[in-house]
């Protein structure tokens, strides 16, 4: 029982990160109907932004201060939001009315470009580098359970951001516009919604979430390197599809499920090597039963 609870707690921390990344995939899919393969690299860039600004922030706000940590998050989010919008403007917008496949391949190209450029020795280099600890890690004991303060931080930041996201999407004008674009782009345009602006904003928002997820992931990971985004990106992507791509609560549900699944499979030695295969296997099974994902709505194709 203790083992079960312990794994659940660890899984929630990981699932929270996946949920944040999956939200970015799902939002972009919602407005543009394509999978932004470069999203996982934005996550990596977010972690590296944190890596470079953290020492400077530390000088201003003091070592391992809460204020400093928040500043690192905000700066990384701003930098990545700009990057996300830039990628959309340069690579995806010119292809807006082309076949989806073309855009998908371009996204893969952008992803490879960022990864290989970052791996170049004059940029970040391929070797892993230790991420500075932003907050002192405490272990909280509850009976036989050990909860790391980092897990609490992850879940806390995620819940906060999810609440913020919900507020933006459901309660603000720009959120209403996002939902309109996602519902029917043509109609939204006719109603006077500035579609390009909304798409840019969506990319920015998704990339900001990815940046924060990247830093949270880096805090837990042994080191950061240019390919660090690939694994969590792939899993978050599975999570987004699992929950029903384009569906925001679905992405969160998928992320948490996948995080739990991964820690439970990882806790059983015979299964730990097959983690990725299991994640994909479950995804395939669910897609076969519910082709639109767990919370997605099946659409009828009209001729």
Residues 6+ apart with CB under 8 A from 53: 72, 75, 76
User: Which residues within the stretch 128-187 sit at the binding site for another protein (CB under 8 A)?
Assistant: none
Angle between the N-to-C axes of helices 195-220 and 2-32, in degrees from 0 to 180, rounded to the nearest 10? 160
Select 12 or 265, whichever has its Cβ closest to another protein.
Answer: 265
Nearer CB in complex with another protein: 3/274: 274
Binding residue (CB under 8 A) for another protein from 60, 67, 108, 140 = 108
Measured from the CB of residue 22, what is the shortest distance to another protein in angstroms?
13
Q: Give residues with Cβ within 8 angstroms of 205, minimum separation 6.
A: 24, 27, 81, 165, 168
Instruction: Compute the least distance from the CB of residue 287 to another protein, in Å.
Output: 6
- Return the number of the residue (56 or 98) whose C-beta is nearest another protein: 98
Residues of this chain, 65-94, that bind another protein according to CB under 8 A: 91, 94
Which of 1, 303 has the CB closer to another protein? 303
Number of shown-chain residues binding another protein (CB under 8 A) = 41
What the block records as the tokens of 75 is: 């700066």
Q: Which residue has the tokens 């699944």?
A: 261
Asked if residue 121 binds another protein (CB under 8 A), the reply is yes
Query: Which of 63, 98, 138, 183 is the binder for another protein (CB under 8 A)?
Result: 98
Block residue for tokens 């790391």: 148
Using an 8 Å Cβ cutoff, are 110 and 90 in contact? no
Q: How far is the CB of 171 from another protein (least distance, A)?
A: 30
**Nearer Cβ to another protein (121/142):** 121
261 is an interface residue for another protein by CB under 8 A: no
What's the min distance (Å) between Cβ of 135 and another protein?
A: 35
Interface pick for another protein out of 70, 74, 86, 95 (rule CB under 8 A): 95
| Residue 268 interacts with another protein (CB under 8 A): yes or no | no
For position 288 contacting another protein by CB under 8 A, the verdict is: yes
CA 294 to chain centre: 19
Considering only 62, 117, 126, 129, the residue that binds another protein (CB under 8 A) is: 117
Minimum CB–partner distance for residue 224 and another protein (Å): 20
Q: How would you write 52-106 as a 3-class SS string?
A: HHHHHHHHHHCCCCHHHHHHHHHHHHHHHHHHHHHHHHHHHHHHCCCCHHHHHHH
| Among 6, 34, 61, 189, interactor with another protein by CB under 8 A | 34
Q: Does 102 bind another protein (CB under 8 A)?
A: yes
Q: Measured from the CB atom, is 109 or 223 closer to another protein?
A: 109
Residue 96 found at the interface with another protein (CB under 8 A): no
Residues that bind another protein (CB under 8 A): 34-35, 91, 94-95, 98-106, 108-110, 112-113, 115-117, 120-121, 237-238, 241, 245, 273-274, 276-277, 280-281, 283-284, 287-288, 291, 301, 303
């Amino acid at each position: 029982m203790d083992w079960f609870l312990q794994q659940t707690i660890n899984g929630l921390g990981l699932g929270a990160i996946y949920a944040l990344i999956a939200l970015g995939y799902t939002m972009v899919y919602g407005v543009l109907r394509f999978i932004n393969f470069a999203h996982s690299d934005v996550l990596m860039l977010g972690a590296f932004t944190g890596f470079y600004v953290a020492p400077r922030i530390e000088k201003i706000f003091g070592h391992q201060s809460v204020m400093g940590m928040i500043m690192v998050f905000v700066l990384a989010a701003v930098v990545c939001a700009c990057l996300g919008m830039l990628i959309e403007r340069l690579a995806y917008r010119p292809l807006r009315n082309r076949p989806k496949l073309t855009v998908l391949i371009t996204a893969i190209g952008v992803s490879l470009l960022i990864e290989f450029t970052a791996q170049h020795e004059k940029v970040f280099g391929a070797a892993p580098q230790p991420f500075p600890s932003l907050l002192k890690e405490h272990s909280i004991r509850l009976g036989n359970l050990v909860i790391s303060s980092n897990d609490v931080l992850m879940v806390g930041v995620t819940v906060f951001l999810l609440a913020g996201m919900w507020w933006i999407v459901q309660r603000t004008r720009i959120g209403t516009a996002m939902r309109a674009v996602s519902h029917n782009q043509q109609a939204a345009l006719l109603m006077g919604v500035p579609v390009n602006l909304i798409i840019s904003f969506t990319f920015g928002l998704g990339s900001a979430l990815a940046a924060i997820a990247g830093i949270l992931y880096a805090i837990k990971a042994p080191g950061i390197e240019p390919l660090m985004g690939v694994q969590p990106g792939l899993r978050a992507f599975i999570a987004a599809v699992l929950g029903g791509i384009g569906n925001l609560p679905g992405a969160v549900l998928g992320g948490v499920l996948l995080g739990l699944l991964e820690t439970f499979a990882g806790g059983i030695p015979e299964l730990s090597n097959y983690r990725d295969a299991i994640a994909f296997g479950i995804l395939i099974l669910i897609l076969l039963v519910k082709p639109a994902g767990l919370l997605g709505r099946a659409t009828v194709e009209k001729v």
